[in-house]
Amino acid sequence: MQHKSPHNTEPEKGFKLRALAIVLIACICGWFVMELEILGVRILAPYFGSAVYVVTGSVIGVFLLTLSVGYMLGGWLSRRANSQRALGMNLMAAGAWLCAMPFFIEPVCDGIFNVGLDEKWGSLLAALVLFGTPTVLLGTVTPTTVRWLTRRASDSGLNAGLVLAFSTMASFAGCVVTAFYLVLLSIRLTIRVSGFALLALGAMTLLQAATQHKSKRSDEPEAKAAEQILENKNSSEQKKL
């Protein structure tokens, strides 16, 4: 009967904890995307009404468009060595935008309304200005987390399905909770709290990225020394031959 070496089990346990944290990040961001989308209808309604073209054409359309941009940007960022640092900065930027949003909702909507655009194009432009940036930033999360989970090419499809499934379930939960309960509270306060949560999540991601970078730098001398010993051993064996 074979026994696993503790040296082999520890990295596996560490990866499982890391994978859980990665999926949790995707779920949190999925929640906030849907929360913002539901609240977006309530935000625009006093200025442009709540007709079907405001809800489906403007709000949902803008979220679909900006998420697609975020997915492409996230796919590009996932290939970079400092993708964790970049994602942390994206989360903090999205959080800062949400914290500041209550202060410029009225100026943006009033300004667009006073330009003379009708409810269709006015609501579309307002949705793009207010919700486009944070949605693009949150859209970078999914492809980046899939890349972090993937250690072998054969696992890429499974990891993508895992992240998409759990983040979509979190979006469903965010949709229900926001539509049933959060809309009854202060919309501006809800957006600020969400912004602070994203700021905290981004800060933790950046801290983890800095910790990993520091540990890699501390391990470099040992790795180089081991590599040098191996080269010396190989050269000595070749001389004997």
Higher local confidence (pLDDT), 10 or 164: 164
Domain edges within the chain:
9-240
Q: For residue 230, what are its two tokens?
A: 């191996």
pLDDT of 152: 86
Angle at 63 between CA 35 and CA 125, to 5 degrees: 110
pLDDT of 6: 46
pLDDT tens digits, 24-37 = 999 999 999 999 99
Q: For residue 19, what are its two tokens?
A: 């994978």
Chain centroid, CA 141 distance in Å: 3
Instruction: Indicate if the pLDDT at residue 63 is higher than 50.
Output: yes
DSSP state of 241: -
User: Strands, DSSP E only, in 32-91?
Assistant: none
Residue closest to 30 by CA, chosen among 85, 61, 79, 71: 71
Average pLDDT, stretch 27-54?
Answer: 94
Q: For residue 33, what are its two tokens?
A: 């995307």
* Fold of the domain spanning 9-240: Growth Hormone; Chain: A; (1.20.1250)
Q: Which residues of 210-235 are buried (b: 16+ CB within 10 A; e: fewer)?
A: eeeeeeeeeeeeeeeeeeeeeeeeee
Q: C-alpha distances in angstroms, 170 versus 27, 33, 174, 195, 212?
A: 5, 10, 6, 17, 28
Confidence of residue 38 (pLDDT cuts 50, 70, 90): very high
Average pLDDT, stretch 92-96?
Answer: 98
Query: At 85, which helix (H) or strand (E)?
Result: helix 83-115
CB 32 within 8 A of CB 142: no
